[in-house]
């Protein structure tokens, strides 16, 4: 095409901006109290609030359905007497197992001794977890 221009765009832009009519400044003293929508909740907040309410309602229905399903599956809460009795028996079992664990020899020179020690340790940790669960105020059990 070979079109060549001799126009200096930098100078031309500078001259245009110098000769341009200045823009009118915006009125910075806007009185927001006299605006027609003053004190009203924006529409998007109403929309978000309704979406949140719908989500809460959905979660509530899911929880109700789950509770109904658990009740249908034979889940019941332990009474306080049953819970305390189980907790007491678990503590007795822990003491008995711990006593047997303490009697083990310190040296683990054979595989059966090592296996016995590991079995006692696993049993003690499981009993401790069960005691922690039974120490809670509300305990639910499944009836089969």
83-112 pLDDT per residue, tens = 899 999 999 999 999 999 988 877 778 888
Same domain, 83 and 143: yes
What's the pTM value of the predicted model, to 2 decimals? 0.46
Contact in structure between 90 and 133 (CB atoms under 8 Å) = no
The per-residue pLDDT for range 111-143, each reduced to its tens digit, is 888 888 999 999 999 999 999 988 888 888 877
Residue 59 has pLDDT above 70, yes or no: yes
Same domain, 87 and 45: no
- H-only helix segments in the chain: 9-19, 43-72, 80-103, 111-134
Domain extent for 114: 76-144
- Give me 127's structure tokens: 């009993």
Same domain, 83 and 137: yes
Same domain, 105 and 143: yes
User: How is residue 40 annotated by DSSP?
Assistant: P
Q: Is residue 65 in some structural domain?
A: yes
Q: How many domains does the chain have?
A: 2
* pLDDT tier for residue 73 given thresholds of 50, 70 and 90: low
Same domain, 96 and 130: yes
Alpha-carbon distance 37 to 4, whole Å?
57
């Amino acid at each position: 095409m070979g079109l060549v221009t001799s126009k200096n765009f930098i100078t031309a832009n500078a001259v245009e901006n110098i000769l341009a009519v200045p823009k009118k400044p915006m009125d910075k003293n806007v009185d927001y109290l006299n605006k027609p929508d003053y004190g009203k909740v924006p529409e998007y907040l109403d929309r978000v609030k309704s979406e949140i309410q719908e989500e809460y309602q959905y979660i509530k229905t899911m929880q109700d359905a789950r509770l109904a399903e658990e009740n249908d599956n034979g889940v019941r809460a332990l009474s306080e007497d049953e819970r305390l009795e189980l907790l007491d028996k678990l503590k007795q079992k822990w003491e008995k197992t711990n006593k047997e664990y303490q009697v083990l020899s310190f040296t683990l020179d054979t595989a059966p001794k090592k296996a016995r020690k590991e079995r006692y340790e696993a049993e003690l940790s499981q009993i401790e977890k069960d005691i922690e669960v039974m120490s809670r105020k509300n305990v639910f059990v499944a009836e089969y």
